[in-house]
Amino acid sequence: MVQRSLILLKPDALERGIVGEIITRFERVGAKMVGMKLLVSEKDTAGKHYTDDLAKRRGEKVRELMIAMLTSGPIVAIAFEGIDMVEVARKMVGGTEPKTAAPGTIRGDYAHISFKHADEHGIGVFNLIHASGNAEEAVSEVAVWFKPEELVDYEPAFTKFTIRSK
């Protein structure tokens, strides 16, 4: 099933200068970029992204720390499209806690912070990247960061081998 997934490259990814490397990983698996923008998130937009559902699961303090982290510098918002893109992106990104993320994943290869460290320092987890957790979340998250007219539909040459319409 062809899906879209939101990928956010967080301020620490930009500060580290690894945006191109991360995007290249998605291009190498055949993900089709349909939207991209560089911005500094407003607090209300970050709040729409980190919904009340996060507060219910992890607590309001964690939600506020994540909003502060996301608004602490520039980010790159990207909408990727591909077959089972949500699942593929989550696999590529790796576990939320970089310390325990598998080698070969983006977080496993480029980050190492632990939840414990973040908690001890009263900061959000700087883990480089966000990827939508499921298909429904992806639809709502893409809508937070992109207007419909900002998403581009095109047919890259490689899709004639991988994505066939009936």
Looking at the annotation, which residues are catalytic? 130
Burial of 84 (0-12, 13-18, 19+ CB in 10 A): middle
Cβ 101 vs Cβ 46: under 8 Å: no
Instruction: Specify whether the CB–CB gap between 70 and 8 falls below 8 A.
Output: yes
**Residue 98: how many other CB atoms lie within 10 Å:** 25
DSSP class of 101: S
Q: Is 32 left (phi over 0), alpha (psi -120 to 50) or beta?
A: beta
